Structure 1
């Protein structure tokens, strides 16, 4: 029920592993210094930029998981989860649910004979087994809104009383399969992406894992997940709404769920893919929601589009922003490039941050909005 008072759900630990670093703190330092995670690559003579883990990072990951016979995807997930769990040793795993957010999982193994590891629930089962979590894991694979939906689903599991803790892991690898899919849409940029800018030319793909451990026990947490909502455009299999009304609907319902109003929102973490249609639609939705002046940024200008990891990674950065009381800037934004006003932040700056809106949109017309708040 909208606005219903439920038990608080706190973010008690996080990890982000991407080309920018192996912890959330490293990502904050990178953003503070304007460091972006992109490198130039070539695909059959076609230049593109992407954010990919380095060989040394992969060595650190495989060493840390102690030579387990897992796939790279599962190793990356397990590494991120383990790093987050180091900060939350008090949680009882018998009272914990694992929620895996991914769009493609082990898609790099698609051509392997007699291999069912591409089935997402198999990976979730492997991870739960390695972590010794006996509760049945949950998989959320809902295009580019997966991470935000996974967090919202975990929130509902906790507020229902079924579990006391949730480990939400979002992860996707960089693979030729995904690259060629986006190339077929002519959506890949040949330079670092420029969300909401007039000269934006498309996305940069990113490779990452991000973990947020949610709990009904605060344990000094700085941020809590207050609620959220989803909607669907019912418009096009790959193209977003032309009006933004459907994402605006999700935003409105998310604020109702969190019992706040647009005027309470201190910062917006936008989906901000830097494609022409996404940024235009998202700007319209924010405008319709009465938040044209609210400070806005896109983390994809640093990490690229990390697909199933995006909503979790970007939420982990929201948690850092709330803890540090600073606005996150967008990189590569110079000239306003959408048809309605939005307030893109371009420099790190102190601010009073009490409530943050996270938006996401994806293929199939999917939209999600979740609300983070400062813990009391």
Structure 2
């Protein structure tokens, strides 16, 4: 080791540990590559060719993080699920516009880099990428001593997908009479954790290893349930062009996310008794004294994805979807808002 590297290590940055981490994740990352990835790991930039078969392709990009769900990973020492959370969240965000995922990049920053933790995070990223038929083509590991607390890190993801220009889902075809169809979430996904953590850890004084009968599992197991990707179960229906609009129910819940796809002259009427509310949300609402209106704005309440479909296409939609569908509402004339009834 050079003297310069020793001094750098004394300052808190361990290049050797970074090299160790890279060597441990190379095969994991390469396992996600498709034939469209033209460069290997280690290039300054990764080359990715547009897949064949597109006439007028549009690239769709997005970026996001996992938020304070990471605090639960730190508390449990489980780091191989948050990467999958990140990928699936980003996939859903571009999928609502009809995009097929192409590739993903990640950013991991920490105070002190630990190769094993990085390997766990990247294994989750790779699993998410493979399940969504895309490549993990690059990323950045930043060791920033003094910036993050001991044992903590942050992650962010950057995704690019593709869709034919004439098949972009904009919501402009939504009209009164269309049905609002919901698909179950696995739990909190990656939103509402600041409130959930306050209720669970501060108000109720629970620990991550505490078993909660209402949840049927420990606190940690519930809070680390992986954010679901809806791409595998809905891609056929989307490719058929029979979905008028889609909304990923993330931060802002029903009240802020569904209006993002509504035309100015339409309201979304949501029937609360049709929503398959998961036990974790009842637990949080009751123990946190959260109003129903706030709950539907903070949490997904058991629905992670919403599709809006015309009645004439509903039978075909059902035939193409391999998962239970919940008819949770209808589109009516209005002013681009959500009405809970």
Superposition TM-score, scaled by structure 2 size: 0.29
Q: Which has the higher contact order (CA 8 A, sep 6+)?
A: 1
Superposition TM-score, scaled by structure 1 size: 0.27
